[in-house]
Chain A
């Protein structure tokens, strides 16, 4: 049944140039839940998110969001249906102030005003720093801004790519809290290498390996299945927290 899912990625194939990145990948995300994409570096998790938002459109297969086929549409059209994208590596706009970064994400006039209280409650730092340029923020603050930006318009679905990457342990805790709170009002498709964080947040998982979706199920089952974890995730659970990298 498609109806119970807010997002269904149905056996998509995605190419970047002549490279076959995704092969027959299927991911379903139920409304009001968090689904996490797991897998090694370069397995195709980020490309899966980009395929949904339309930055790397699939060559075949279907992407159904909220009952509508969206594959092949331009990225801005897809985003405007109510999908927020938080890319990896904190791709905020460095030349814009924090406030401008948030303003830019408005789809209707007044989006930011309506959600400002909620956003600044989740990220009190950003209110204080609102006049600073993006390139004056620390790595953690940039990551917070990247997430905050996706909260400005009314999004039904958030695609969040590696929110914990390069964050200090204390900030990872904070980020987890934020995502947990977000779950109450929205649906999230998460990419997360930090297995501890992923296992505490997500209800369901999909393992992507070498461009294929090889395994899926309930997170509560996966944590008990050490063999599976070892086979597909390898070393990535060995290092649950990483320290902040120097810029």
Chain B
């Protein structure tokens, strides 16, 4: 049935369908905007399962869950991250309850802020790629965009949690790793710094990029 004349798209929706606006603030903003008239004639896709107008929705959290998924089991990935958030809270609240009243303001209790800071601290600016020049392969440092650096940061955080000793549960290891990255410590930050060192060493190959 797959003849050349009728190419079937994998997605249910054709390409001219645009992404939905599911946040209430954005919808209110659109109504006051000039583009609203044009938007009424557009066709929209339905929202994905994790895209809600809830107060507790966070785009980075749903992104992180998508990277944690194994075998398409989204619910278990979501449980993993939520349980890791609880572990973060348990660690931070125990520190909060035991410390003096002066130091209490320094301790961050919001797990979503900790996740955001951890990802922000783990983001690399450069990366090494292999480029072939005159029959030889060189590792050339190149700058990367924000999407790629976010991907690497999240991937490294999950890898670092999985590499740790298997005495604890994965959610506990992930919680420890996130708190350490929030404080600019730990395996993920070390990995980023090693990459920077290699980039520094291969600085002389930078012109191979062109």
Does chain A bind chain B?
no
